[in-house]
Structure 1
Amino acid sequence: MDLLNMIRDAGVIGAGGAGFPTHAKLTSKAEYLLLNGAECEPLLRVDQQLLDRFAAEIIQGLEAARQYLKARKALIGIKSKHGEVIQRLRYQILAQGLEANLEVKELRDIYPAGDEQVLVYELTGRIVPEASIPLKVGCVVINAETALNVFHALAGKAVTETYITVAGDVPRRLTLKVPVGVPIRDVLRQCGLASFEDYAVIDGGPMMGALLDNLDGHVTKKSKGYILLKKEHFLIRRKSLKLEQARVISKTACEQCRMCTDLCPRYLLGHNLQPHKMMQALSYNLDNHEEQQTAQLCCECNACEMFSCPANLHPKSVNIFYKRKLAAEGIRYQPPSREMSARSARDYRLIPSKRLVAKIGLTDFDRPAPLTEADFQPEYLEIALRQHIGAAAVPVVAVGEQVQAGQMIGKIPDNSLGAAVHASLAGTVREIKENSIVIKVGSYV
């Protein structure tokens, strides 16, 4: 079996949060394979620790993917502040005799260094065109944990676990290896809180993550972090606003100072994304569809909303408003044919991570979250059939069937983009829902 089929059968997806099936990424040819180890979201500590703990395995997985892509070189992007991790990676590259094919490149400590298009520019100097993907400039990007999962796939091991940081205003900040399908509450309890009544939980990083409506969900292969903060915290109040509330507030108070545009990471790469113009269109009820289409270039990194705007308005939310409005009307941005170049002021307008952390009120919680062993013994697992971009997996088990850890329980639909899903712990299939499979675990059977 070749690497692509091993990765496909193992259910490997983008572990950085997007969840794009990795086997589909590797079907093309590219000049560069980039490993995204930037982990630019504040408080998250997964990638930096995996690169430290599993440097040899990640490099082997990365090299296998590079060879399959026939890429000229694989570049590992990691922030220069992680000096010891960088030394370990470089040692492993030399030890495995891969110095001609793999290189570690150090990144500045900025937000959002982990954005795919920012990463491509920082590592290669190439600019991904508007409304396009890194492959357009000869690059494929994978996450550090994804490379680790490629390594495991080579040994026939499916993706049944994910690494999650639990951080914020909690007694214990830690990073855990968690079986997919475990109740989120079981993960949160590891942080040392007896009750979550006074807390809100952000699913993912504090910048791009969304508030959990309730804590009754289950871990997926894309889960990367849970940030717990008191409900009255600035960040929670900001994220609690509904889109319509954010739209009304933004319509009444925008000063047209341009800061949202001047510090926008995509604008600084030369893209025609100008959030202040969307704010202007909203304030004056302008109806220029051609100009509004540029809102579709927004990657929703939240830099404009959480850092740039001096009036604490909601440019990202306004971009989302216009994205949805145009999508409902079937209008899609058509990028002009032009040479892309970064704005001349880019180097002076990058957002330092420490300043961002301070602006969003997380300085007191910006501490280590060490990789810690935890023994999860849930009564039930609930494995989502769609943990990825593409079609939901099709169940290949029946109610009452005994399953083993690592067994495929959902396959990719024929002729579709998707990813297989597997049981993370042994047990009995109790229920097959429209979007998930419920397994009663082990000794509880």
Structure 2
Amino acid sequence: MSLLDMVKDAGIIGAGGAGFPTHAKLASKAEYILMNGAECEPLLRVDQQLMELYPDEIIKGFEQAGRFVEAKKAIIGIKGKHKKVIAIMRERIEALQVGDFVEVKALPDIYPAGDEQVLVYELTGRVVPETGIPIQVGCVVINSETALNIYNASLGKSVTETYLTIAGDVPNRLTLKVPVGTPIMDVLKLSGIENFANYTVIDGGPMMGPVMTSLDGYITKKNKGFVILKKQHPLIRKKSITADQAKRINRATCEQCRMCTDLCPRYLLGHDMQPHKMMRAMQYKPQDAEGQQTAQLCCQCNLCELFSCPVNLYPKSANVYFKGKMAEQNLRYQRTKDEFEARPVRSHRLVPSKRLIARLGLHDFDKPAPMTDMEMNPEVVYIATRQHVGAPAASVVTVGQTVQQGQLIGKIPEDSLGAAIHASISGTVVESGNDYIAIRRA
């Protein structure tokens, strides 16, 4: 069986949060394979600890993927501040005798260093075209946990668990391995908080993660962490604003200073993403989706909204608004060229992580979240059939059926992009619907 088939059968998806099926990425041939070990979202601590604890497995999985796509070079990107992790990875690369193929490069401590297109530029000097993907400049990008899952897949192990960080204004900050389908509330209570009436939870990092309106969900393969803050925290108030409220504030207040554009990561890579123009259009041409097609270039990193704007407006929301208008009218941005160069001012406009954390009001919570070997044993898991990009998995089990941990319970529909799902615990199937497959522990 080829590595591609093993990855596909194991149900591996991008573990960095996007959830794109990994077998689809590895189906291309590339000049470079890059590993995203930046973990640029504040407070999250998964990737650095995985590389420290499982360096050999991650390097081997990364090397296997790189050989499969016939890359000439495999580059691991880690922020330079993580000196211990870099030293461990470099030492193990030499010990495994793969130094001629795999290397570690230090990344600047900026946000968003982990953005796929920023990572490609920092590690190779190449700029992904507007609306493009890394393979268009000869690169395949995977995350460090994804590399670990690829190694496990080569041993016949499917993805039934994910690693995530619990952080924020909590007594206990920690990182741990959690079975897919575990109730989110069971995980959140490990923070030391029992009553969440005065708290709000961000699903993922504080920059791109959405505010959770309900805590009744279940862990998926692409969960990376939860940031728990008191409801009155300024970041929670900012992220809780509605689209209509953001639109009214934008139309009334924007002074066209263009700071949102000047610090935009995609603009600095040479793309025509200019949020200040979306803000202007919101004031004067709110229905003109055709004239605002550059909104589709927004990667929604939220830097403009949570850092750049000096008066706390909502440029990203303006981009999202026009993206929605474009979708309604079936419009798609058409780039006018295929070769791009980073703007000369880029190096002077990068946003340091420390400044970002201070601006977000998270300085007091930027502390270690150590990996724990605590085992979670949920009585019932609800495994989502759609926890990845593409079509939902099609159930291959029935209510009353006994399944073993790691057993296939949902397959990729014929001729579709998707990912398989597997039982995260051994037990009996108690629900098999369109959205979830529930298993009660034996």
> What amino acid is the match of 2:386?
R
Counterpart residue number, 1:223: 223
Q: Give the match's secondary structure for 2:75.
A: strand
Report matched runs for 1:207-286 at 5 Å: 207-285=207-285
1:330-378 CA-to-partner distances (Å, cap 9, x unmatched) read 1110001253111111000000000000001000000000001222121
1:37-64 CA-to-partner distances (Å, cap 9, x unmatched) read 0000000000010011111000000000
Counterpart residue number, 2:174: 174
Counterpart residue number, 1:407: 407
1:22 aligns to 2:26 (yes or no): no
Distance 2:326 2:189 in 1: 42
1:157 aligns to 2:154 (yes or no): no
Counterpart residue number, 1:55: 55
Distance 1:126 1:248 in 2: 39
How far 1:197 moved relative to its partner? 1.1
Q: Give the match's secondary structure for 1:140.
A: strand
Distance 1:414 1:148 in 2: 27
Distance 1:421 1:289 in 2: 38
Distance 1:286 1:221 in 2: 38
Gaps of 5+ in 2: none
Counterpart residue number, 2:136: 136
> What amino acid is the match of 1:149?
N
1:317-336 CA-to-partner distances (Å, cap 9, x unmatched) read 00000000011011110001
Counterpart residue number, 1:307: 307
Distance 2:318 2:44 in 1: 27
Which runs of 4 or more aligned residues in structure 1 lie more than 6 Å from their structure 2 counterparts after TM superposition?
none
How far 1:195 moved relative to its partner? 1.3
Counterpart residue number, 2:429: 429
1:71-116 CA-to-partner distances (Å, cap 9, x unmatched) read 0010000000000110110011101111110010000000000000
TM-score (normalizing by structure 2): 0.99
Distance 2:338 2:173 in 1: 47
Task: Indicate if the aligned counterparts of 2:402 and 2:427 stay in contact, CA closer than 8 A.
Answer: yes
1:159-182 CA-to-partner distances (Å, cap 9, x unmatched) read 000001000000010001000000
Distance 1:328 1:285 in 2: 16
Q: Give the match's secondary structure for 1:34.
A: strand
How far 1:287 moved relative to its partner? 5.8
1:191-215 CA-to-partner distances (Å, cap 9, x unmatched) read 1112111100000000000011111
Q: Give the match's secondary structure for 2:374.
A: coil
Gaps of 5+ in 1: none
Q: Give the match's secondary structure for 1:371.
A: coil
How far 1:286 moved relative to its partner? 6.1
1:97 aligns to 2:92 (yes or no): no
1:193 aligns to 2:193 (yes or no): yes
Counterpart residue number, 1:367: 367
Distance 1:289 1:305 in 2: 21
Shift in CA distance, 289/375, structure 1 to aligned 2, threshold 3 Å: closer
1:198-246 CA-to-partner distances (Å, cap 9, x unmatched) read 1000000000000111111000000001000000000110111111111
Distance 1:286 1:427 in 2: 54
Distance 1:187 1:412 in 2: 28
Distance 1:233 1:116 in 2: 30
How far 1:433 moved relative to its partner? 1.9
> What amino acid is the match of 2:296?
Q
1:229-288 CA-to-partner distances (Å, cap 9, x unmatched) read 000000110111111111111110001000000000000000000000000111122665
Report matched runs for 1:369-384 at 5 Å: 369-384=369-384
Shift in CA distance, 153/247, structure 1 to aligned 2, threshold 3 Å: same
> What amino acid is the match of 1:23?
H
Counterpart residue number, 2:205: 205
Counterpart residue number, 1:69: 69
Task: Indicate if the aligned counterparts of 2:177 and 2:375 stay in contact, CA closer than 8 A.
Answer: no
Q: Give the match's secondary structure for 1:410.
A: strand
Distance 2:52 2:143 in 1: 14
Distance 1:399 1:359 in 2: 50
Distance 1:212 1:422 in 2: 26
Distance 1:144 1:46 in 2: 9
> What amino acid is the match of 2:147?
A
Counterpart residue number, 1:390: 390
Counterpart residue number, 1:107: 107
> What amino acid is the match of 2:48?
Q
Distance 2:378 2:94 in 1: 42
Counterpart residue number, 1:416: 416
How far 1:23 moved relative to its partner? 0.6
Q: Give the match's secondary structure for 1:167.
A: strand
> What amino acid is the match of 1:74?
A
How far 1:415 moved relative to its partner? 1.0
Task: Indicate if the aligned counterparts of 2:45 and 2:175 stay in contact, CA closer than 8 A.
Answer: yes
Q: Give the match's secondary structure for 2:164.
A: strand
1:332 aligns to 2:347 (yes or no): no
Counterpart residue number, 2:7: 7
Distance 2:395 2:215 in 1: 26
Distance 1:342 1:157 in 2: 41
Q: Give the match's secondary structure for 1:211.
A: coil
Q: Provide the aligned length of Structure 1 versus Structure 2.
A: 442
